[in-house]
Structure 1
Amino acid sequence: MDPTSAPADVAHDFSFLGLFLQADPIVKGVMILLAVASIACWTVVFEKVVKLAAARRQAKAFDALVRSGGNLESSGSGIDAHIAQAGIEAWRDQDASETRAERRERIERSMRAALTSRIKRLQIGLPLLATAGSTAPFIGLFGTVWGIMNSFSSIAKSQDTSLAVVAPGIAEALFATAIGLIVAIPAVMAYNKLTTDLGRIQSGFVSSIGMLGNRLARDRISHSRAAAAE
């Protein structure tokens, strides 16, 4: 039998697993890389969903505490407790030469710095989603281009332009592009959603920080006046 006719005679498996196993080593490597990226992205998504849900609850609890004028010196390790502790420490740092506006600004600045440090922790992993969303289609496209090049090589070697010769290589190549899109689309959607949610949580904390800063600055002036009256 003529070896050049072998590609046309071999039965090809067009299932997802079959396309992967029959792919060129370079295309197969691209598929593996995209699969690993997909697993990493979904790990980040599930982690952030849990952490942002906890942060959202803390933001609501912090807002309720500030509005009710409750005790800020409560134990805890959440964002709300971290911000409250920063505000109390700034409030205790007394300076008789400060005006109320200066005192409020200093207290709020301290709480905003505490908030920023915690928000940065929540942002860890989000750049991976952005990177995967922007690069995965091009990585898949590289696998597609390589697979199509192999298909043309098969045509040149077999001197046969029939679809049976070209179809397997093109199918494997397009499968790489499909995997790239499967990775990129959820990554972009998750990045946009998580970034929006994180921004809303941060805005909620900032609003509460403004109210708390005003309250602490006012309480500090009252304390100073009471001490002077004595």
Structure 2
Amino acid sequence: MNLATLWAQSDGLGRGVMLLLLAMSVLTWMVIVYKAWLLARARRSIEGGLAGYWRAADSAGAEQALQQADRLHLLWPLHGALGALPEQPGVRSGTDGVQAPSAARQAHLTRLLRDGLQQSTRQLQWGQILLATVGSTAPFVGLLGTVWGIYHALTGLTGGGAISIDQVAGPVGEALIMTAFGLMVAIPAVVAYNIFGRLIGALVERLDGFAHDLLALHGGSGSQAA
């Protein structure tokens, strides 16, 4: 099938469908390439940041380790919740005089950690909506081109006397190519969406675990950060 012939035989709507599918395909592959690079870098950022943070001897060293390893600032919003937490007086125990974190402080830290986790998750989720949209709509865009191409081909054959199967098979077969184009655009988007979704889920689990560890250390045990 000659694409130039298909383009020449199409009208405005058919050409618009082809251009739309081309634009969707280009955007999809741009997102796939960038997203693969982003998630690979995010994995290194999280793994290196966590390793440096927990190896640090004090809070200053932990902060420096995050600044050096967490290039994408995925862990930093969670650590930053500690800096945004106001100092509040605890509740003094009547037996040993040790101060425990107040419930208000614990709840405030939970909200800050949840906000930080959502910020990092949004960064990891970038591009997923586009992949899902392309994967779900590209087949229907291609089908629209096919239906319109068949209609356009059949109306072009009317008024010419007897119509043979050979006269119909060529234009209809060319129109069916549009459905194949739609699938060729949609399949990479769907596959990439599913693969990236699993990778993002694993990274978010690491971030969620870090948030829970911070909450247990600085806000009291037995609470949930997200």
| TM bin (shorter chain) | 0.7 to 0.9
Stretches of structure 1 that go unaligned for 5 or more consecutive residues are 1-13, 219-230
Match of 1:22 in 2: 9
Partner Cα distance (1:217, 1:48) in 2: 35
Task: Give the TM-score of the pair, scaled to structure 1.
Answer: 0.77
Q: Which ranges of structure 2 fall in alignment gaps of 5 or more residues? A: 92-99, 221-226
Per-residue deviation at 1:201?
Answer: 0.7
Q: Which moved more, 1:108-117 or 1:29-38?
A: 108-117
**What corresponds to 1:225 in structure 2?**
none
Q: Percent identity?
A: 33
Contact 2:90 2:102 in 1 (8 A): no
Alignment correspondent of 1:8? none
Counterpart in 2 of 1:110?
A: 112
Q: Does 2:147 align with 1:145? A: yes
How far is the alpha carbon of 1:32 from its aligned partner?
Answer: 0.9
Q: How does 1:129-140 map to 2 (within 5 A)?
A: 129-140=131-142
Q: Distance in 1 between matches of 2:182 and 2:56?
A: 52
Q: State the 4+ residue runs in structure 1 displaced beyond 6 angstroms.
A: none
| Alignment partners' CA distance in 2, 1:174 and 1:20 | 14
Larger radius of gyration: 1
User: TM-score scaled by structure 2?
Assistant: 0.78
Higher relative contact order (CA 8 A, sep 6+): 1
What is the alpha-carbon distance in structure 2 between the residues aligned to residue 21 and residue 122 of structure 1?
43
1:86-125 map, 5 Å: 86-90=81-85, 93-97=86-90, 99-100=100-101, 102=103, 103-125=105-127
Count the aligned residue pairs.
203
Q: CA deviation at 1:177?
A: 0.8
Deviations 1:192-217 (A, max 9, x none): 22122112111111112212332334
The aligned residue for residue 221 of structure 1 is none
The alignment yields a C-alpha RMSD, in angstroms, of: 2.3
- Aligned in 2, Cα 1:118/1:164: closer, same or farther, shift over 3 Å? same
Which of the two has greater helix per residue? 1
Tell me if the contact between 1:87 and 1:213 (Cα under 8 Å) persists in the aligned partners: no
